[in-house]
Amino acid sequence: MRVLMIGSGGVGDAAARIAAERGFFERWVVADYDVTRAERTVAAVAGRHPGEARFVSAQVDASSAEAVTALAREHGATHVFNAVDPKFNMPIFTGAKAAGADYLDMAMSLSQRHPEQPYEKVGVMLGDEQFAVAGEWEADGRLALVGIGVEPGLSDVFARYAADHLFSEIDELGTRDGANLVVHDDDGNEVFAPSFSMWTTIEECLNPPVVWERDRGWFTTAPFSEPEVFDFPEGIGPVECVNVEHEEVLLMPRWVDAGRVTFKYGLGDEFITILKVLNTLGLDRTEPITVKGVQVSPRDVVAAALPDPATIGPRMTGKTCAGLFVTGTGKDGQPRRTYLYHVVDNAETMAAYDAQCVVWQTAVNPVVALELLARGTWKGAGVLGPEAFDAVPFLDLLAAPKPEGYGSPWGIDER
């Protein structure tokens, strides 16, 4: 396997550090628009693994399908791994196909609101552009494995596992994401510093959330709707979660039978207030505006003004939890309420990988998936979500102690 990874931000950098411990690939190209970032990632890998020569750096314009195709062909890439903001999904997705490579991403093509009833009806949904050409990928015998981060990704694997092994009937698949992470400045004061891409966070949190119900199909609600307090395990505790637009709701119903599918994120009052202010001021807009003769996107400015999520790990404490709350009827015919989850401690990922826990938790899952594809354990053609594959090999490999596995156990909490 020869991997072309596009993007060496927080997640891409962490993915390279994780992959360096594995032997399933012969080449890993780290490509970025800013080649110095790619070079830093390659140097960091070499510094932690003396003699490691499988990683090389390259420059690429992720907005150009032709550039992606050319780079993939230059390096003989068998798999193009998209580790940049989803606004670049379609050029990378298209470029990979033209190069005859398989494709993986952690977030799907962007949505567009319904023009008349944005908080009731769906418009263009997440992933619609990619699913529209699924037949072409299948005809070519190529695989586009979409939404294989942590959420979407691991939560979708949990959905497949729950359907196959825990439940005879599922009432709701409810992804619930929360954390108790805190970031401090140099003086020890708590500061606002998102642990993930602010550009992507604005996109998913201010768009109309999508819900799926068996009798209604997909529909939308207002941002931050249906607040609930969810009790997260391993010391994180209760966190208020709200509806957010996310790929799980668009993926899970395609492969898993359930009465309802939702995604709720534990944002917190401060973060919700900031997002609302950005929206009120128009600073969430992506369309360029002219400032003193220069064209700039307000959202790009906001993202650039905040700390790079890849750099905040040393000043962050706490844990992050991603998981899926499943309700319905168990295999024994009795009512069942089960939370399948994955908790990662920032202190542990910083010590082992020099990567903060949110980006590490996102990055580990596509690396596990790539290893399963390299082994031939997972195989397929077309545009497929994680639910289309057997969950057990993935969960076993993720949890197994090193060096056999990735040493990152997951849990089941019966409620």
Q: What is the pLDDT of residue 321?
A: 97
Given the structure tokens 């993007």, which residue do they identify?
7
Q: Name the band, by pLDDT with cuts 50, 70 and 90, for residue 367.
A: very high
Q: What is the pLDDT of residue 164?
A: 98
Q: What is the pLDDT of residue 198?
A: 84
User: pLDDT digit string (tens) for 61-96?
Assistant: 999 999 999 999 999 999 999 999 899 999 999 999
Instruction: Determine how β-strand 382-384 pairs with β-strand 143-145.
Output: parallel
Instruction: Determine how β-strand 294-296 pairs with β-strand 382-384.
Output: unpaired
pLDDT at 48 over 90: yes
More confident residue, 16 or 186: 16
Chain mean pLDDT for the chain? 95
- 8 A C-beta contact, residue 53 and residue 45: no
Q: Which of 159-163, 187-191, 222-226, 396-400 has the lowest mean pLDDT?
A: 187-191
Q: What is the pLDDT of residue 31?
A: 98
Q: Global pTM? A: 0.93
Q: What is the pLDDT of residue 313?
A: 82
Q: What is the pLDDT of residue 235?
A: 95
* Percent of the chain predicted with pLDDT > 70: 100
What backbone torsions phi and psi does residue 174 show, to the nearest 5 degrees?
-120, 100
The full set of domains in the chain, from first to last, is: 2-149+360-410 (3.40.50.720), 154-358 (3.30.360.10)
Q: How many Å apart are CA 393 and CA 328, to the nearest integer? A: 24
Q: What is the pLDDT of residue 188?
A: 84
Q: Name the band, by pLDDT with cuts 50, 70 and 90, for residue 110.
A: very high
- Residue 59, SS3 per DSSP: strand
Q: How many Å apart are CA 80 and CA 91, to the nearest integer? A: 12
Other C-beta atoms lying within 10 Å of the C-beta of residue 168 = 13
Omega of the bond leading into 403 within 30 degrees of 0 (cis)? yes
* Average pLDDT for 254-276: 91
Q: What is the pLDDT of residue 227?
A: 93
Other C-beta atoms lying within 10 Å of the C-beta of residue 330 = 17
Q: What is the pLDDT of residue 238?
A: 94
Given the structure tokens 């768009």, which residue do they identify?
207
User: pLDDT digit string (tens) for 185-220?
Assistant: 888 888 877 777 788 888 888 899 999 999 999 999
Q: What is the pLDDT of residue 185?
A: 85
Which residues, 6 or more positions from 322, have their beta carbon under 8 angstroms from its beta carbon? 150, 151, 154, 155, 175, 177, 341, 342, 361
* Average pLDDT for 92-114: 97
Other C-beta atoms lying within 10 Å of the C-beta of residue 268 = 15
Q: Name the band, by pLDDT with cuts 50, 70 and 90, for residue 330.
A: very high
Q: Residue 400 has which token pair?
A: 């197994």
